[in-house]
Structure 1
Amino acid sequence: MEKFEQIFSYINEKTINYEQSENISFLDGILLALEDALEEKETWVGKDATKEDIRKAIQIAILKGMRKTSQPNHQMTPDTLGLLVGYFVEQFFEVHLKQNEISILDPAVGTGNLLFTVMNLLNGKVSAATGIEVDELLIRLAADTAELIEQPVLLYHQDALQKMLVDPVDAVVCDLPVGYYPNEDVALDYELCAHEGMSYAHHLLIEQSINHTKEGGLLFFLIPANLFETEQAKELHKFLKTQVWIQAVIQLPENLFASKAHEKSMLILQKQSKQLRAPREVLLAKVPNMSNKQALSMFFEKVQMWKENK
């Protein structure tokens, strides 16, 4: 058995026992299983495993738990997308990472899978990481995972659209939760507050993220594919022009998503700075089917060519 399979078996068996003996949900059972692992740190099966083995094993267990619930906010960024975001973070910070570490924020961290995938990929080059999450169960799962993979992360249990005590960061990564924002009083504090009706939470999160990014810092968002086609898109576009430069819009493969309505793209923004200039051209690209190695290689070549000419 591979190491991550051994870790998954450990978590899965303990979770099933807790689910039955305590009459709790599978996700709550995972939390208790992770707490057991933390208490048994000297003897538990994942003691000599890599950060990635532990993260993957926990991810598979959490995905199993999420399939058993129907809560729309209980979703996880798949590894394929996490690794793609991590690749672009590496590319944009390549020179910087050779000399310095970067600070990073995920304002909708969930169980932490996207943030931890990026951090593991950067391999010790993150000086400070912060995650914000409104769901108590998800942030507790993120906290236990962070401790088990030994990644230094500050986690805040709060609504990310309310006042955040977070210093500006070099990079934001976020799989934007999509939908309307229910707290209209808070929405009024944002430029992207809707003139009529309810505001989009994902628009407000983009604005909040920009507010917490250093000048010249970068933001890597997984966005709904139709972000710039909705009735509030005109206001969003106008706002972005005053605050950031669009560096890239990456269309993701359709086969990664259950339906057209769930399709996502990646949006990469850079907060404007007097010391820097806008890119000569925006990178517009489509990620091919991940199983097509030749097409994927050509995609990465296109990214490298754009990087050299920007």
Structure 2
Amino acid sequence: MNNMEHLFNQFLNCVTTLQEALNVSFGEALTETFDNLENGKIKVEMGAPDPKTVDQLSAMYKTLNYDKISQKDKAQVFTYLTLKAINDDGRDANQMPTPQLISIVIALFMQKLLPNRQLTVMDPAIGAGNLLYSVISQLKAANHSKDLYQLYGIDNDEEMLDLADVAAHLNNLNIELYCQDAILPWMIEQPDVIISDLPVGFYPLDENVKHFATKSKTGHSFAHLLLTEQIIKNLKPGGMVFLVVPQSMLSGKTGADFMPWLANKVYLKAIVELPDKMFKNKFNQKSVLIFQNHGENATLDNVMLTKLEGNNEEEALFKLNVKLNEWYTKTND
């Protein structure tokens, strides 16, 4: 058994022990376990957990030797446990963590397209924060750990925001989190950059979207279309957007309506189709969509259209980086 597997099992035992004692979801027990460990004290409310469980947890925490575990390992274990929480608690597939490969693709583009200055960055469908934190951690690492980013996140699920809060702390990131429906007006000033893995499906509250251009003529509207429109409405002039979107949004009947509308609203920069093998079937296939809001020094360039291809992830990323450099040089000549 390797060290990470051993650590995972130790943490898992702590979480399940607390979960049984409090009779709560795995996600709630996970958040509270890390709060207990970070604070060095087991939280007891209205007699729960009971004294016997407190003693049991104290012994388990002592064996864990939490203060001696590296921040990187803590963050990694927490990500694995978050995945288990989403599975065990029967959550929506939209709340699954975004694969690491996608965050690397977005980080590559952000390094090329964003100025090296202080930026406000937000995710209006943050979930547990996996995508945003992974991208920002890569950018910080590439910039000698310099933190140029003020982070914000929105989600309508309080339990997911609790997970996002813990994950931010474990990744040494500061973030302001807001619990709200992202289709409604935002409480955040216009951000410079938006990164998001858009939730796919129907938005049920038709009354909230009657003034949206992307609403459906009949029945419920697609949440991913509405959220893209809301992002554009709230983005700073010249601001950049990096979205993980369903392939169906960019092509076919939906794409035939949506893409001309989008091209009229913003400057398209790039569309990167993700590998087929990342998805169970062709209906789940996704792409990374990158665009810039009008205004400031925004420019209309040739759109980079490509597919992430290769025998393995390393080869696919190498090929993408070569294409990205060629496209960037050509665009900025």
TM-score, normalised by the number of residues in structure 2: 0.83
CA contact (8 A) 1:10 1:45 kept: no
Identity of aligned residues (%): 26
Deviation at 1:194, TM superposition (A): 1.9
Residues in 1 aligned to 2:10 and 2:245: alpha-carbon distance in whole angstroms: 35
Partner of 1:247: 269
Match of 2:229 among 207, 211, 222: 207
Partner of 1:88: 109
1:1-310 correspondence to structure 2 within 5 Å: 8-40=8-40, 45=66, 49-50=70-71, 52-72=72-92, 73-93=94-114, 96-97=115-116, 100-123=117-140, 124-273=146-295, 275-279=297-301, 281-289=302-310, 291=312, 293-310=314-331
Question: What secondary structure does 1:189 align onto?
Answer: coil
Question: What secondary structure does 1:216 align onto?
Answer: coil
Which amino acid in the other structure matches residue 265 of structure 1? S
Which amino acid in the other structure matches residue 27 of structure 1? G
Across the two proteins, how many residue pairs are aligned to each other? 303
Residues in 2 aligned to 1:127 and 1:161: alpha-carbon distance in whole angstroms: 24
Question: What secondary structure does 1:35 align onto?
Answer: helix
Question: What secondary structure does 2:220 align onto?
Answer: coil
CA contact (8 A) 2:108 2:321 kept: no
* Greater CA drift, 1-10 or 79-88: 1-10
Residues in 2 aligned to 1:79 and 1:289: alpha-carbon distance in whole angstroms: 16
CA contact (8 A) 1:119 1:126 kept: no
Residues in 2 aligned to 1:69 and 1:305: alpha-carbon distance in whole angstroms: 45
List alignment gaps of at least 5 residues for structure 1: none
Deviation at 1:29, TM superposition (A): 1.7
Aligned CA-pair RMSD:
2.3
* Greater CA drift, 30-39 or 106-115: 30-39
TM-score, normalised by the number of residues in structure 1: 0.89
Which amino acid in the other structure matches residue 91 of structure 2? Q
Which amino acid in the other structure matches residue 122 of structure 1? L
CA contact (8 A) 2:248 2:255 kept: no
Residues in 1 aligned to 2:120 and 2:149: alpha-carbon distance in whole angstroms: 5
Residues in 2 aligned to 1:243 and 1:55: alpha-carbon distance in whole angstroms: 38
For the structure 1 residues 47 and 175, does the alpha-carbon distance in structure 2 shift closer, same or farther, using more than 3 Å as the test? Answer: farther
CA contact (8 A) 2:248 2:254 kept: no
More helix by share: 2
List alignment gaps of at least 5 residues for structure 2: 42-61, 141-145
CA contact (8 A) 2:101 2:313 kept: no
Deviation at 1:285, TM superposition (A): 0.8
CA contact (8 A) 1:7 1:45 kept: no
Residues in 2 aligned to 1:184 and 1:294: alpha-carbon distance in whole angstroms: 45
Which amino acid in the other structure matches residue 112 of structure 1? G
Which amino acid in the other structure matches residue 76 of structure 1? P
Residues in 1 aligned to 2:11 and 2:148: alpha-carbon distance in whole angstroms: 28
CA contact (8 A) 1:26 1:65 kept: yes
Structure 1 residue runs of 4+, over 4 Å off?
A: 1-7
Residues in 1 aligned to 2:257 and 2:330: alpha-carbon distance in whole angstroms: 30
Q: Which has the larger radius of gyration?
A: 2
For the structure 1 residues 5 and 201, does the alpha-carbon distance in structure 2 shift closer, same or farther, using more than 3 Å as the test? Answer: same
Q: Any idea what the Cα deviations from partners look like across 1:243-298, whole Å, max 9, x if unmatched?
A: 2111001011111122222211110011122633201x110111114626445422
For the structure 1 residues 140 and 294, does the alpha-carbon distance in structure 2 shift closer, same or farther, using more than 3 Å as the test? Answer: closer
